[in-house]
Structures are given as structure tokens and as C-alpha cells.
Amino acid sequence: MIPTRCLAALVFLSAVSAATPGALAAADAGRPNRAAPEAKPVPKPPSLDDLFARLRASEDPVEAKGIARLIERRFAGSGSATADLLTDRARHAVSAHEFPLAAELMDRVTALEPDWSEGWNRRATVFWLLTDRDDAIADLKRALVLEPRHFEAWAALGRIYESQDDKVHALAAFRRARSLYPQMDKIGEAIDRLAPEVDGRDL
């Protein structure tokens, strides 16, 4: 004689074996879904075009400065580990007032990555520190051919022209910088200073 407990187990197993696939599926359908939640897609970073649009539209100097820094970070990467390393060494050389060494390092960078706008902009800074204004202007113009929205390069070009008493070209450069970055520090002051003397002349 089969014990009552064993008989109950056999009856249960028989019932499970006899269940149709449809019945089992229906039973599963009633269970709560324990699948892991889908991961949310990571939002794409804003494009440079988006950042420049936001920079032009911003009326808050603090917000605008934050946007400008995001743009500058995009400009800062050459895409070449070697060029980035040389640029960083040049930065340290400038900090140590070793300007000829910094110029030599940036020469290598511009030769290695001639299409990197920021490389020319940074070498222009070194030439300015070496009081080589002509080469600084040439490098800034090259940077602006590669990236016409480089507001720091426009501002630097304006400062160099003003230092040469070329107020017409200085004002034009400052105005280009302001058109890209209306809240840029001291640009409005420079324009207000030069405009009364220049406006009315043929550019």
C-alpha cells in the first residue's frame, strides 16, 4: 500500500505531465514580469553647432562662460596622442618661461597635425610671447581658416592689431569675436573704445 504522502506526490506529478503547453504558457502569463529593466539610452553630447547657437543666444555671462568652456574643450583635442603630449609639454615650457622651447614643440605639433586649428592658435600665443607679432598674426589667420568660429583666435587677433595701432582691423576682429560669443569678457569694452575712432572709415 502506497503511503498517502507518496500518493499525493504522484498525483501532482501526473497533473503537471498532463498539462498542455498552452496551459503552462497561460500560467506563466499570470506571473509578474521579473525581466531586468531596459537601460536608458545615453544622451548624445550636443554638437558644436548646438553649442555655438546656445553661446550666441545666452544672455547670462556665467552660463555663456560655461558653454564657451565646453567649446574650448572640443577644440583642445587634436585627435593625436603625440600632438596632445607635445602641446602639453609646450604648455609647461610656457609656464617656465622657456618660450623658444615652447615654439619648437608647437612647430612639431603644427607639422604633425596641420588641420588642427587649436595647434595654430597655441603656437600664435607662443609667438606673441616671443614678441613675434607677424608670425602670431599668420598663425591666427591659419587657425581661423580651419575654424572660423574660434572666438579666442579672433579676440587675440584683435589685441595684436590694437597693439600695432591698427584700430580698423582690431575693431573688425573684436566684432567677429563678439558675434560668436556676445558675453565674452572685455570684448564689449574694446569695441566701445575703438568704435568712435573707427566708425565712418572704410574697412
| C-alpha cell at position 41 | 539610452
Q: Say if CB 86 and CB 105 are below 8 A apart.
A: yes
| C-alpha cell at position 23 | 496551459
pLDDT at 150 over 50: yes
98-107 CB contacts, 8 Å cutoff, 24+ apart? 99/126, 99/129, 99/130, 100/130, 102/126, 102/129, 103/127, 103/130
* DSSP character string of 164-200: TT-HHHHHHHHHHHHHH-TT-TTHHHHHHHHHHHHBT
Q: For position 36, what pLDDT does the model report?
A: 58
Q: For position 31, what pLDDT does the model report?
A: 53
Q: For position 201, what pLDDT does the model report?
A: 59
Strand partners, 199: 201
37: confidence class by pLDDT, cuts 50, 70, 90: low
β strands within the chain, DSSP E: none
- Residues 21-34 pLDDT 10s: 444 444 444 555 55
Q: Please report where in the chains the cell 618660450 appears, as a residue.
A: 99
As a whole number, mean pLDDT of residues 31-45 equals 67
- Residues 193-202 pLDDT 10s: 999 999 875 5
42: confidence class by pLDDT, cuts 50, 70, 90: confident
- Residues 105-131 pLDDT 10s: 999 999 999 999 999 999 999 999 999
